[in-house]
Chains A and B, each alone.
Chain A
Amino acid sequence: MYDVAIIGCGVVGAATAYALSRYDMKVVVLEAENDVAEGATKANSAILHAGFDPEPNTSMARLNVDGIALAKQICDRLDVPYKICGSLVLALSPEELPHLQHLYDNGIANGVPDIHLLSAEETLQREPNLSKTVQGALWAPSAGIISPWEYALAMIEVAVRNGVELRRSCPVSNIRKKDGVFSVSIPSDTVEAKYVINAAGVYSDKIHNMICKPSFHIIPTRGEYYVLDKNEGELVHSTIFQCPSKVGKGVLVSPTVDGNLIVGPNAEEVGPEDRGCTAAGLSFIAETARRSVPGFSLGDSIRNFAGVRANVDTGDFIIGEAPDVENFIDLAGIKSPGLSSSAAIALEVIKIFQKKRVLPEKKKDYKDGRKKIHFKQLSAEEKAKLVHEHPEYGRVICRCETVTEGEILNAIHSDVPARTIDGVKRRCNAGMGRCQGGFCGPRVLEILCRELHIDPLQVLQDRDGSYVLESETKQGGKHHV
């Protein structure tokens, strides 16, 4: 019997697991996919929003501003790449200027630090590659960029190291409650827990409805993106927004923590699994983004992707115990700024447990913190020393991103080990560069086989069913030996 079962291991589930792992309780995290951070967490704008978008007095407003402050602390502690680069919301016509004022007022009410309005000249001084049609901008220096999957991974890794149990490939099919104990059905097993936390992203309404009365409806909303080569990464140095529309924060152009440029998203209501890009969507974001940053080259695109965010018909995050089912806690409808808010959302769970007076003592032997080796970022002397001590860092596997065998081994043998080629990619960047794994993919596959003692035909690219190799050739896999 577990104290808590968390359903879903996106950034919200991971943050919650991390927060709870400090306390002396038995926690299990049930993730439907074969790896963590596979939903909206891995496919979003990767922005730490300053917090002027949400209307004052919403959960979103409060948790965004608190969440970004917490995120910075956690990233420092857990060695997660982030950068406080600031953000600009542009007014591209005189009619949009009042909107900047509205956002400014929101920001002041929400407690966003140091925001101010810039004239057109000041804006262009800050970012010379913006459209000359810019009329002014809202500057928010506290906004930043982050590696979203690394953020989630770091938190769940530390949670697992401290005793939280993570079960992947465990979609929940049913929830029952009897005598104050939940029975959560997963493939060929049932998990019993005193508390259930619903952090199921685009499926959070379905999970809620398994045991509670329907009270909200998730509207999965797709956003499509371009990721451009690092050649383009210097085009802007802060996150460039346009004035938001009814459906979202509009199309942005931003540097990423890896030095690329990201362009997107649009917003389109779709099914929860509709993660495909469309020609119309891609050309829409490119055209729209060019209104603010005209000069980027789509010829330097290295990847497109689409993420489905968990928009919700209630307008605000849904955080709290379900009114009709005691001890069932929803963390639902976590749309944007969910990534920025996630750490604060997790603390809401702690507060709920405190209020219910069920929070146990903190663990005495808690091991916080995390340190990763990023070979590429070391100085020549540090590289030399590292390779001297650990020769496996002397073999570069991913040439685009300069990722070494040592880093790949770390990914495969981490607290939440990589089991797929994309799992390795998310943990150490191999395959993230402009050849997109064309070169290192076969080598990563070879290392996975060697380390996990599996056959090449069993290796997956990413999700279940995403096999890489179909069969041996007529001469078989060993003809070259």
Chain B
Amino acid sequence: MYDLVVIGGGPAGLAAAYQAYQHGLRNILILERDKELGGILNQCIHNGFGLHRFGEQLTGPEYAGRFIKMLNDTNVQVSLDTMVLDVTPDKKVHCVSKKEGYRIIDAKSVILCMGCRERTRGAIGIPGTRPAGIYTAGTAQRYANIEGYMVGKRVLILGSGDIGLIMARRMTLEGAKVLACVELMPYSSGLTRNIVQCLQDFNIPLYLSHTITDIQGNGRVEKVIVAKVGPDRKPIPGTEMEFDCDTILLSVGLIPENELTRQAGIEMDPHTKGAVVYENMETSIPGVFASGNVVQVHDLVDFVSGESELAGASAAEYVEKGEPESGRVLNLQVGDGVGYTVPQRVRMGNVDKNVTVSFRVRRIYGTSSIVVKSGDTVVARFKRERMTPGEMEHITLPRVLLEKAPQDTLTVQAEEAQKS
């Protein structure tokens, strides 16, 4: 029987396992699908990781390496090339590997750290033929950075997610011609620094409020038609542009990878597409926690690590002390302009000083406020200069304010500042 089984050895799993160890657990196992630890960080050979956490710019493998090194000094066990097939509500973890066969592992606690996957062409229904040459940005990144192959030489990028932007620069540096980055929305979903460093610095045009209306080609992509879209996001006839290209990279969003979560019967949040979690990252099954991109898609790995350390510490506390005292439970709800919140529930009995809530807004806000309400009562208000859907927001709610909430629901909403 393990104290803790961590599913996934990417940044979330590494940080969660290490923190659980720091909090006293000694019998910890990480199950990783791939042949090495680190997850998607291994294919992210660009730098910019770790600014918040380590105060320096690391590459993905370097960032992962720091955590792997810390784990080397513990007795945390790792099973690589091992796929988890099932997690049951009584915390039996079914997994399989070539080396160790089929195993059913008993755990006192489990942390789900499966990360996320990229949305594909089918998810957004792009018209046209179905030739080869259409890749998610992450797949192209794997081919380039791990396998050493280029997927094409004349590239159009749809969507402006960070991996797409990073790949615009990477493909350019490798000698490909990146013709344009096309974004449906009137704003980019990527980090501002990536727009500057990956597109502007290489004179790659960014077409906001545009989309692909047709893909042509039989064996391989030959031509792509792009058109401007109106406020209803429908293409405007007569605005079409033709691009002769052999490759389309898609960077149109990430979806948390929750097959195991769903199978286990854990309550899901339709907004995040991840598990509903409490203030300590615990899911609806006691002793099963979740953290990282499997819960919500983060902008920066530094935040993944932070969230996962909370999950790791919480798992240790659960194993040592059992289920925390619940007390009053507050339900967080999304209000105007807010896409989701994490956590979705707060057990007052388990709140020490305060609770940090993360969320994303649904459009760009200038000078504005984040308002937390309980019924008609404003519990807290936070001023912001600017908010965009591309950058995750965090607010810290002190316990003393939460106690004043007249109702058991808290609504988080965004408000544009009054124009004077």
Contact = CB atoms under 8 A, between A and B. Distances in A.
Contacts of A301: 122-125
B96 interface: yes
B130 A438 contact: no
A399 B150 CA distance: 24
B148 A477 contact: yes
Interface residues of A, number: 62
A226 B125 contact: yes
Given A394-B96, A436-B122, A469 B150 contact: yes
Contacts of A471: 149-150, 153
Nearest to A382: B102
Nearest to A388: B101
B414 to A, nearest CB: 23
A475 B138 CA distance: 19
B142 to A, nearest CB: 5
Contacts of A305: 130
Given A275-B129, A438-B139, A439-B117, A467 B219 contact: yes
B148 A470 contact: no
A479 interface: yes
A183 to B, nearest CB: 29
B129 A395 contact: no
Contact of B219 (A394, A464, A480): A464
27 contacts: A273-B218, A276-B127, A278-B127, A301-B124, A302-B123, A303-B121, A304-B126, A380-B102, A384-B101, A387-B101, A391-B101, A396-B85, A399-B83, A405-B98, A435-B118, A435-B136, A441-B139, A442-B142, A446-B147, A457-B149, A460-B132, A467-B220, A468-B132, A469-B151, A470-B247, A472-B148, A480-B146
Contacts of A358: none
A394 B153 contact: no
B104 interface: yes
A462 interface: yes
Interface in A432-473: 434-436, 438-439, 441-442, 446, 456-457, 460-473
B97 interface: yes
User: Which interface class (under 10, 10 to 19, 20 to 34, 35 or more) fits B?
Assistant: 35 or more
A399 B117 CA distance: 11
B213 interface: yes
A178 interface: no
Determine which residue in B130, B135, B151 has the highest number of CB atoms from chain A within 10 A of its CB, and name it. B130
Given A473-B149, A478-B148, A435 B117 contact: yes
A305 B169 CA distance: 32
Main SS at interface, chain B: mixed
Interface of B: 33, 81, 83, 85-86, 94, 96-102, 104, 117-118, 120-133, 135-136, 138-139, 142-144, 146-153, 174-175, 213-216, 218-220, 235, 246-247, 255, 259
A456 B148 CA distance: 10
Contact of B147 (A278, A279, A477): A477
Contacts of A395: 81, 83, 97-98
A324 to B, nearest CB: 34
Contacts of A461: 131-132
A436 B121 CA distance: 9
A224 B97 CA distance: 40
Contacts of B174: 473-474
Nearest to A469: B149
A329 to B, nearest CB: 30
Contacts of A438: 117-118, 120, 135-136, 138-139
A308 to B, nearest CB: 12
Interface in A292-308: 298-299, 301-305
Contact of A391 (B98, B128, B153): B98
Given A391-B99, A394-B96, A467-B132, A277 B148 contact: no
A209 interface: no
A468 B122 contact: no
A416 interface: no
A305 B131 CA distance: 11
A291 interface: no
A392 to B, nearest CB: 7
A298 B33 CA distance: 30
A91 interface: no
A348 B73 CA distance: 73
7 shortest interchain CB distances as A-B pairs: A465-B219, A303-B122, A461-B132, A384-B102, A466-B132, A477-B148, A396-B83
Determine which residue in A282, A305, A461 has the highest number of CB atoms from chain B within 10 A of its CB, and name it. A461
B144 to A, nearest CB: 6
Contacts of B220: 465-467
B96 A480 contact: no
Contacts of A299: 123
A383 interface: yes
A479 B148 contact: yes
B155 to A, nearest CB: 10
Interface string A374-389: 0000001001100110
A464 B131 CA distance: 10
Interface in A392-448: 392, 394-396, 399-400, 402, 405, 434-436, 438-439, 441-442, 446
Contacts of A400: 259
Given A301-B123, A302-B123, A275 B130 contact: yes
B151 A468 contact: yes
A461 B124 CA distance: 21
A462 to B, nearest CB: 7
Given A282-B125, A465-B220, A477-B148, A402 B101 contact: no
